[in-house]
A and B are shown apart, each in its own frame.
Chain A
């Protein structure tokens, strides 16, 4: 009896193993001479098709404007953003190739994951303050609204302004903090650095809390053109690098 159960188990196990193997070899995509294949090194951390890593640390790349992604790649390569693993990845890549990689991820319009439940919910008055900063700004502190540059829907504007929704609070906090301490920079003149230095810690917490609590709208594409900047934004020039000469968009 024992023996037959054991052999039955063996048979079932072998079958299961066979199934697993078959499934996996079926699932392993064949090699293709494509930019997606070339950038498997990126999606290993940033998630399939650049949908974001599972831990909130590696941000989404898919659908972000090409100019924004291209500038971030340059920033890592040229020492304005700091993460050794990332710098190493782009160290010996040309401007033209970095732009091709950026354009590839920009072209991927893939669904956002359902929002992660917040680890701690900010107080209603904090969320209200965050909403005001994001949509209206604070003229007294010469703070433009996020929406002035990042679009009315906060889903980004072509070709250089990224979406602010659909990002984990930890990531947003780390980026704003990085800008405040100079750890994250953009090409000079660095408009976000000027904004971050005018932003108090409490306001940074408020705006991050509100942004991270917002659902991603049905329409996730970056807007085509920026709104006319409101008056506070007029003294904030952004110096991000122009797209390479051979850029098609």
Chain B
């Protein structure tokens, strides 16, 4: 009896210690959001500061999430599908009731740096404070000045619709204890200034690993990791930047990587799907210096050893049937031999986006079609028609099996079940 009581007492003490540590980790950040200096900084925002803030907001693609389709810029309300339910972006305009008009610059800094709201609540990490924590205070103040200059909008932010318990403060406290440390970017002396500039942008402002990191079952990751992430809710795969068979950039030139970021189209690859959105709203606005710095950093990422190419498998009947469909539907633009057409249509032979192990991206492109981003550097992209309504699961499986195994491509074939799985996950939204 006594032993049980002691054990219970001990457990209670441990639980209290854990709770105290969780509280300490999550809430004791020591930021005085009412500090006079911060308030003064908010009042004194020179145009240069606003311009820097606007630039950072573009580079970080803030408004892509913080603007609903057709809504006032920065007024939030966009539904963001996650593996844990739907999160809604908040209103960043200076509206006093629904926006951040009553916030101080220090409260804004605390949100970016510590992931806490004006009222002290822990924020949902759909907002990538896991990355913005690296921003300097000066950059935070610049963003604050820029958002303060947007026309105020009285759009209320809908409550998140996350499954229990993911949205609770307790769950967020535990998640943060596991996956979040407030930090700042400390330049690494082993690398030069450009690499460090790139690291600050890739890891912080542009928060690339929000998609490109491999997340675990709780949605956490090592945020320096760019080893490829499945975007389950969107039905896309953000390829690994550490793998030469996926999107590794080690053998690209700095200029080529920068061109992809700034124009969406480069000699050996182009941005499609979510990355086209990133280019369109975000990275096309990067300065030459910042784009090159990101390129330097991304090129230097450690690369997986190139695997020996798989042996060419005998062509199946499925792939052979796909060859006819290819000629009928694809060859006019992509060429009889999958060679592509200049800058207009990408080659399919030797194209890493075609031979990725995950077929999600390939299926997305073929089912829904679309255009590359229209950017200043590539203003008139060519379009790909959607095949959602014209080709059956079986026909798509055959066509894709053909292009994944023809012209020297050596990837696995695609089954009708795989096509059906992605189609049924995504088509309802597409036809609404």
**How far does the alpha carbon of A159 sit from the alpha carbon of B104 in the complex, in Å?**
48
Task: Tell me the chain A residues, 57-104 only, with Cβ under 8 Å from chain B.
Answer: 78-80, 82-85, 87-94, 96-97, 100
Q: Are B70 and A80 in contact (CB under 8 A)?
A: yes
Of B68, B379, B390, B430, which contacts A88 at CB under 8 A?
Answer: B430
A90 to B: closest C-beta gap in Å: 8
Given known contacts A28-B332, A79-B69, A92-B374, A41 and B432 CB-to-CB distance under 8 angstroms: no
**A12 at interface (Cβ–Cβ under 8 A)?**
no
**B196 at interface (Cβ–Cβ under 8 A)?**
no
Q: Are B383 and A40 in contact (CB under 8 A)?
A: yes
**How far does the alpha carbon of A94 sit from the alpha carbon of B381 in the complex, in Å?**
10
**How far does the alpha carbon of A96 sit from the alpha carbon of B369 in the complex, in Å?**
21
Given known contacts A33-B344, A41-B384, A41-B385, A91 and B333 CB-to-CB distance under 8 angstroms: no
Q: Are A92 and B385 in contact (CB under 8 A)?
A: no
**A38 at interface (Cβ–Cβ under 8 A)?**
yes
**A45 at interface (Cβ–Cβ under 8 A)?**
yes
**B371 at interface (Cβ–Cβ under 8 A)?**
yes
Q: Are B383 and A100 in contact (CB under 8 A)?
A: no
Contacts of A29 in B (CB 8 A): 332
**B388 at interface (Cβ–Cβ under 8 A)?**
yes
Contacts of A83 in B (CB 8 A): 431-432
Q: Are A96 and B386 in contact (CB under 8 A)?
A: no
Q: Are A97 and B370 in contact (CB under 8 A)?
A: no
Q: Are A93 and B432 in contact (CB under 8 A)?
A: no
Q: Are B371 and A92 in contact (CB under 8 A)?
A: yes
Contacts of B71 in A (CB 8 A): 79
Given known contacts A37-B344, A79-B69, A92 and B277 CB-to-CB distance under 8 angstroms: yes
Task: Tell me the chain B residues, 363-392 only, with Cβ under 8 Å from chain A.
Answer: 368-375, 379-386, 388-390
Contacts of A87 in B (CB 8 A): 69
Q: Are B370 and A91 in contact (CB under 8 A)?
A: yes
**B280 at interface (Cβ–Cβ under 8 A)?**
yes
Of B380, B382, B386, which contacts A100 at CB under 8 A?
Answer: B380
**How far does the alpha carbon of A80 sit from the alpha carbon of B70 in the complex, in Å?**
7
**A243 at interface (Cβ–Cβ under 8 A)?**
no
Q: Are B379 and A96 in contact (CB under 8 A)?
A: yes
Q: Are B430 and A85 in contact (CB under 8 A)?
A: yes
Contacts of A94 in B (CB 8 A): 374-375, 379
The digit string for A37-54, where 1 denotes a CB below 8 A from any CB of B, is 111111011000000000
Task: Tell me the chain B residues, 413-432 only, with Cβ under 8 Å from chain A.
Answer: 429-432
Contacts of B384 in A (CB 8 A): 41
Given known contacts A31-B341, A85-B388, A89-B371, A97 and B280 CB-to-CB distance under 8 angstroms: no
Contacts of A38 in B (CB 8 A): 344, 380-383
Contacts of A42 in B (CB 8 A): 383
Given known contacts A92-B276, A92-B277, A41 and B369 CB-to-CB distance under 8 angstroms: yes
**How far does the alpha carbon of A118 sit from the alpha carbon of B231 in the complex, in Å?**
47
B67 to A: closest C-beta gap in Å: 10
Q: Are A85 and B431 in contact (CB under 8 A)?
A: yes
Give the A interface residue count (CB, 8 A): 31
Contacts of A88 in B (CB 8 A): 368-370, 386, 430
**How far does the alpha carbon of A94 sit from the alpha carbon of B383 in the complex, in Å?**
14
Closest to A37 in B: B382
B376 to A: closest C-beta gap in Å: 9
Closest to B368 in A: A88
Contacts of B385 in A (CB 8 A): 40-41, 44-45
Task: Tell me the chain A residues, 1-50 only, with Cβ under 8 Å from chain B.
Answer: 28-29, 31, 33, 35, 37-42, 44-45
A43 to B: closest C-beta gap in Å: 8
Contacts of A44 in B (CB 8 A): 369, 385-386, 390
B375 to A: closest C-beta gap in Å: 8
**How far does the alpha carbon of A83 sit from the alpha carbon of B69 in the complex, in Å?**
13
Given known contacts A40-B385, A78-B70, A92-B277, A85 and B368 CB-to-CB distance under 8 angstroms: yes
**How far does the alpha carbon of A46 sit from the alpha carbon of B429 in the complex, in Å?**
21
Closest to A187 in B: B70
A159 to B: closest C-beta gap in Å: 22
Given known contacts A31-B344, A33-B344, A92-B373, A84 and B429 CB-to-CB distance under 8 angstroms: yes
**How far does the alpha carbon of A28 sit from the alpha carbon of B328 in the complex, in Å?**
10
**How far does the alpha carbon of A80 sit from the alpha carbon of B193 in the complex, in Å?**
46
Closest to B426 in A: A84
B431 to A: closest C-beta gap in Å: 6
Q: Are B369 and A89 in contact (CB under 8 A)?
A: yes
**How far does the alpha carbon of A39 sit from the alpha carbon of B333 in the complex, in Å?**
12
Closest to B336 in A: A25
Q: Name, among A28, A44, A90, the residue most crowded by chain B CB atoms within 10 Å (CB to CB).
A: A44
Contacts of B279 in A (CB 8 A): 92
**How far does the alpha carbon of A232 sit from the alpha carbon of B386 in the complex, in Å?**
43
Contacts of A31 in B (CB 8 A): 333, 341, 344
Q: Are B383 and A89 in contact (CB under 8 A)?
A: yes
Closest to B341 in A: A31
**How far does the alpha carbon of A33 sit from the alpha carbon of B332 in the complex, in Å?**
14
**How far does the alpha carbon of A49 sit from the alpha carbon of B377 in the complex, in Å?**
28
Q: Are B383 and A39 in contact (CB under 8 A)?
A: yes
Contacts of B368 in A (CB 8 A): 85, 88
A-side interface residues toward B, CB under 8 Å?
28-29, 31, 33, 35, 37-42, 44-45, 78-80, 82-85, 87-94, 96-97, 100
Supply 15 further A-B pairs (C-beta < 8 A) apart from A40-B382, A85-B368.
A28-B332, A31-B333, A31-B341, A35-B380, A38-B344, A38-B380, A38-B383, A39-B383, A44-B390, A83-B431, A83-B432, A84-B431, A84-B432, A89-B369, A91-B280
Q: Which 8 A-B pairs have the closest CB atoms?
A: A41-B383, A44-B385, A79-B70, A79-B69, A84-B430, A78-B70, A92-B280, A92-B373
B-side interface residues toward A, CB under 8 Å?
68-71, 276-277, 279-280, 332-333, 341, 344, 368-375, 379-386, 388-390, 429-432
> Would you give 10 A-B contacts (Cβ < 8 Å), ordered by A?
A37-B344, A41-B369, A41-B383, A79-B69, A84-B430, A87-B69, A88-B368, A89-B386, A93-B371, A100-B380
